[in-house]
Amino acid sequence: MPKVALYNMSGQQVGEIELSDRVFGVPMNEHVVHQAVVAYLAAQRQGTHDTKTRGEVRGGGRKPWRQKGTGRARHGSIRSPIWRGGGTVFGPHPRSYRIKINKKERRLAIRCALSDKVASGKIVVLDQLNFAQPKTKEMIKVLSNLQVDMAQKALVVTAGPDENVFKSARNIPGVKPIPTDNINVYDILKHGTLVMTRDAVARVEEVLAQ
């Protein structure tokens, strides 16, 4: 089992914590990780774009001029796609961009991403992370104590939704706070350092070790 140092909010090491091999000791599977990232990014697209066809734009009820005898090209409607103000051909319409990925593959991808953070020494585990009230200054102090490079971005993971932690971290550039239920491959890979509480580690192992 991989072991990592356990720190307090002052940045002092207070012990070690053993991580589950089934979650934090998995070999990298680049194909599955890539699939999970593509599926995540596709799911972020709203798909609400819409263009009007020639049957939806206003006007064009009558033939602009007679078929023959004018010397001009034949036209049946001023809202033809080749006219200015006409409809759009093959334009985008509302659709879902979601890509189906199996639950086992999605969980494997998260395990691979977490294992990569452990292998590269980019994970920091806290014994606890709590604030009496939202204070961005206090969150910056904690990250500085842990020597987290915020320029490389940091993902702060708590066991459950914590309003004080969320409000303390959300305004810090490059820092994203999320509960374990929202953890995903894209965020893990995007952020240079992964900061997790001990309770968050336990929760992740409980869900992903199945």
What pLDDT sits at residue 15? Answer: 92
CATH code, 3-46+101-208: 3.40.1370.10
What pLDDT sits at residue 60? Answer: 84
Segments in the chain below pLDDT 50: none
Name the helix (H) or strand (E) containing 66. none
How far is Cα 158 from Cα 139, in angstroms, rounded to an integer? 13
What pLDDT sits at residue 128? Answer: 92
What pLDDT sits at residue 77? Answer: 93
Cβ atoms of 89 and 160 within 8 Å: the answer is no
195 burial type by CB count under 10 A (0-12 exposed, 13-18 middle, 19+ buried): buried
What pLDDT sits at residue 198? Answer: 94
Nearest-Å Rg of the Cα atoms of the chain is 27
Indicate the domain borders of the chain: 3-46+101-208, 51-91
What pLDDT sits at residue 39? Answer: 96
What pLDDT sits at residue 149? Answer: 86
Strand, helix or coil at 24?
helix
DSSP state of 62: S
CB neighbours of residue 7 within 10 Å: 22
How far is Cα 87 from Cα 55, in angstroms, rounded to an integer? 7
What pLDDT sits at residue 151? Answer: 83
What pLDDT sits at residue 120? Answer: 92
